[in-house]
Structure 1
C-alpha cells in the first residue's frame, strides 16, 4: 500500500486540537516535531529519557506529520483536514504558519517513521509510560508501568497536558475510588487511574477512534476488567456518580459540561481539568467557580494549565 505523509507547520498551542483533527480523519499515528524540545531545559527528577537529533526538527515552530493511505478519497480527506484546522481560529487558537505539504512514502517508512520519537518516560513519582514495543524494566518496586500503543491514539502520553493530569491523579486518587474519564482519547488516564487504586473507571469519548484506542490500551495494560468504555458526548445522559472526574480536552469543551461534572461528583469529589492554554485559564476558573466548585490548585507545565477543583462537602 502507498501512503502520503501530511506535514503541517503550526504552533505548540495547536498541537492537541490538530492532532485530534488528524486522527478523526483516519490517520494512523502522529509525529510531533517541536523545536522547543531541543532548546528547553529539562527537569531530571523523574528521569525522562531524551535522545533528540536536531536534524529531525524544524528551524522554528512545530511540524505535525501524519500518514494517510493513498486512495480515491485522499483529496477530499486533505480538504476536510485543512478546513477543520482553519476553523480552530474560531476558538482563538493560534495555528501559526499553517502550511501543509504532501509527500509519498513507502510502507517501511510509514511503519517506522514515528517510532523513533517515542521512548520510555517517567512522568510522575510512580508512573512511567513506555511504548508497547520497548522492553522496559522498572527501576523501583513501587514504579507503575503504562504500556501505550500510540498507533491510533491521541498522542504518546507524554504531552504536558497528559503529564499534568496523571500527576494530579496520583495525588488525589484514593483506593476504591470511582473515576469518570471524559474525552478519554488513548485511555492513558483511565489506565493510570486503575493502577493508582481506582476500583472502577468509566471512559467516555465521542470519537470512535478514541474508543477503539482506549479499549486496546486498557486491554494491553490488563485493566479492562475495571474500565468500562462508552462512546458518548461528554456527560450527556450519564447517571454514574464519581469521586474523581478527569478531562484532558480543550478549554471550550470543559466549559460545556462543568455543571454536569458538578452534578456527577460526590460531595468532596475532585474535578481534574487539563488541556487549557494560558489565555483560557481565567475563563475555565470562572466557569468552574460559577458551577459551584472550589478551586484547589492551578498548575502549569510549559504553556499548559491544569485546574483542580473540588465539589464542597455540602453543596451551596
Structure 2
C-alpha cells in the first residue's frame, strides 16, 4: 500500500490540537519534528534521542507529520484537515506559517519512519518510556518502564507537556489514590498513575479512538484492571470525588472545566494541569484561583507550563 505523508509547519502551541485533528482524520499517529530536540540538555541526563538529522527540522516552529492511506478520498481528507486547522484560529491558537505539504511514501518506508523516531527515553527520575518492539533492560532497581505503541498513540509520551505531568505525578500520587485523567489520549498519564501506586484511574476523552488507545496501552502495561477508560466530555456528569485530577490539555480547555475539577476533588485534593503555553500561564492561574484553588507550584519546560493546584 502507498501512503501520503502530510507535513504541517506550525508552532509548539498548535501541536496538540493539530495532532488531534490528524488522528480524527484517520492517521495512526504523529511525528513531531521540533528543532529544540537537537539541543535539549535533558538528553544527557534522562536518556538519548536517536538518529536525529538537523536537515529534517525547520529553522523555527515545528513540523507535525502524519501518514494517510492513498485512496480516492485522500484529497477530500486533506481539505478537511486544512479547514479544521484553520478553524483553530477561532480559539486564538497561533498557527505560525501554517504550511501544509504532501509527499508519497511506500509501506516499508512508512514503518521505518515510525521506528527511527521512537527509542527508549528516560523522561524523569523514575520513568523510562519505551516502544513495545524495543528490548530494554532497566539500569536501576527503582526504574519504572512504561510501554507505548506510537502506531496507536497520541504522541510518544516524551513531549514536554507529558514529561511535566509525569514528573508531577511522581511527586504527588500516593498509594491507594483515586485519580481522574481528563483528556487521556494514549493513556500514558493513567498508566503512570497506577504504576506509581494509585488504586483506580478513570480516564476520560471525548475521542473514542483515544478511549480505545488508552485501553490497549493499559493492557500492554498490565494495568487494565485498574483503569476505566470512557468516552466523556471533560467532567460532565461525573458525580464522585477523586484524590487527584490530571489533565494534559490546552489552556482554553482547562478553563472550561476548572469549576468541575474543584467539585470532583476531595478536600485537599490536587489538580495537575499541563499543556499550557507560556503566554496563557496567568490566564489559567487566575481561572483556577477563581474556582477556589490554591496554587502550589508553577513549573516550566521549554515554552510549556504545568500548574499544580490544591482544593482548599
Alignment of 1:147-226 (within 5 A): 147-226=147-226
* Residue equivalent to 1:56: 56
How far apart, in 1, do the equivalents of 2:228 and 2:40 lie? Answer: 38
Q: Offset at 1:43?
A: 5.7
Given the alignment of the two structures, is residue 239 of structure 1 paired with residue 206 of structure 2, yes or no?
Answer: no
* Residue equivalent to 2:2: 2
How far apart, in 1, do the equivalents of 2:240 and 2:118 lie? Answer: 35
SS in 2 for 1:222: coil
Q: Offset at 1:147?
A: 0.3
* Residue equivalent to 1:144: 144
TM-score normalised to the size of structure 2?
0.97
Residues 56-65 or 93-102, more deviating: 56-65
User: For this pair of structures, how many residues does the alignment match?
Assistant: 312
TM-score normalised to the size of structure 1?
0.95
Per-residue CA deviations over 1:199-230 (Å, capped at 9, x if unaligned) read: 00000000011111101100000000100010
Q: Offset at 1:249?
A: 0.4
* Residue equivalent to 2:308: 308
- The answer to whether the 8 Å contact 2:193/2:201 transfers is yes
How far apart, in 2, do the equivalents of 1:268 and 1:237 lie? Answer: 22
Alignment of 1:75-90 (within 5 A): 75-90=75-90
SS in 2 for 1:113: helix
Residues 2-11 or 162-171, more deviating: 2-11
* Residue equivalent to 1:259: 259
Per-residue CA deviations over 1:252-310 (Å, capped at 9, x if unaligned) read: 11011111110110011000000001111111101100100000000000000000000
How far apart, in 2, do the equivalents of 1:111 and 1:119 lie? Answer: 14
The CA RMSD over aligned residues, in Å, is: 1.3
SS in 1 for 2:155: coil
Q: 1:48 to 1:40 in 2, by over 3 A?
A: closer
* Residue equivalent to 2:18: 18
Runs of 4+ in 1 over 6 A off after TM superposition: none
Per-residue CA deviations over 1:99-157 (Å, capped at 9, x if unaligned) read: 11112211111122122111111111111101111101101111110000111211100
SS in 2 for 1:186: coil
Given the alignment of the two structures, is residue 68 of structure 1 paired with residue 82 of structure 2, yes or no?
Answer: no
Q: Offset at 1:49?
A: 4.1
- The answer to whether the 8 Å contact 2:161/2:305 transfers is yes
Q: Offset at 1:92?
A: 2.0
Q: Offset at 1:40?
A: 4.2
Q: Offset at 1:51?
A: 4.1
